[in-house]
Structure 1
Amino acid sequence: MTASRKPQIALTSKAAPFAIRAERASDVAMREALLDACFGETRHQRTCQRLRDGRAPAAGLALAAVREGKLVGTVRLWHVSAGGRPALVLGPLAVDPACRELGIGAALMHQALAAARARGHAAVILLGDAPYYARFGFTAEKTGELSLPGAFERDRLLGLEFTEGALDGAWGMVVPTGKPLPKARAVRAVKAPLAVPHAA
């Protein structure tokens, strides 16, 4: 007697799942190519890049979305002082343009914010589209007195508190406080080759 077999169901590439995991060293080339595709070769000149240059992302807060063996999304968070208040800055958030209908950006945001909260961080700031990031709890309510090291649009500087009052009275320049990269790696990062709204 032959055992009956369940029919094979072919998944269309649109239906293929994606996974979110910690970023790996082997992701660097694909991540850089994805960021170039999303932000262009001038992305290293963006204001928020000055908060990341020569610094390592916060521990456990560099995530990658992978689909069919390809990196299709990335998000990182970085240690900063937000006018004297310890915080994280989120960005860049990028999703492969061919995969923007799959919810990858939202999934990366939810996982990154949950991980930041679980690690005891008090607040996150970012530079991005307020209508998009409002769904995750970001507002401009407590960022009005903060500045960035370069040009930026005031209504795009947003904050989210995990600890109530973490950004109360925050005033002044947002400056990087993360662990410096070893010099050789920092030089390589600067010389690297140059829908969802993205956090810069």
Structure 2
Amino acid sequence: MNTHTATGAALLVVDAQRSFLQRESWSASSDPEVASRIGRLVDHFRGRGDRVVWVLHTEPGTGTVFDPERGLVEPMPGLAPASGETLLTKTAHSAFTGTDLEDLLTAWGVRELTVCGVRTEQCCETTTRMGSELGFTMTFAVDATATEPIAAPGSAPGRSLREVLDDPATLLPHDIVTRTVYALADRFARVRAVEEILADGLG
């Protein structure tokens, strides 16, 4: 159990949950094994005595993979909160919206946040932007995030993954990650790779 925040820093693990593993599109994600990189960050922050905060996305009553009734709203295999670590659930893109995350971080004296998880451009990026707006110093662990192909606006629903990937208008994961780096870097966050964070002791 973390009882001391050594550097006023915390790691936010956003939506790294089993829900995504059930989707056909996850096989085409930027990193299907992203949990291993997230796990390295978790170990790093725990080893420093810093906070690790887990956030899971829920869509109650929808019957989707994000509906808690389906039993999939839990961390990906290999990831789990340690005793005493905070786990929050959210229904919006930002981990700050509709939760007491900001109040908790303030009470703990945390001012530096590192974000990892799923999806790169959606909940991870949105949380990072909002954290910056709230005055936190943000680090975006880009290769400890993952995302999936995005079909073009107005695309017909229900297409197979192959049809989505064959559509030249589809935005592919590499391009999505690149766009997020350009959007966040030096404006909302420091964008760093896991190895940089571990080597420099960033958080």
* TM-score over 0.5 (shorter chain): no
**Which structure dedicates a bigger proportion of its chain to strand?**
1
- TM-score calculated relative to the size of structure 2: 0.28
More helix by share: 2
Q: Which entry has the higher C-alpha Rg, 1 or 2?
A: 1
Structure 1 length as normaliser, TM-score?
0.28
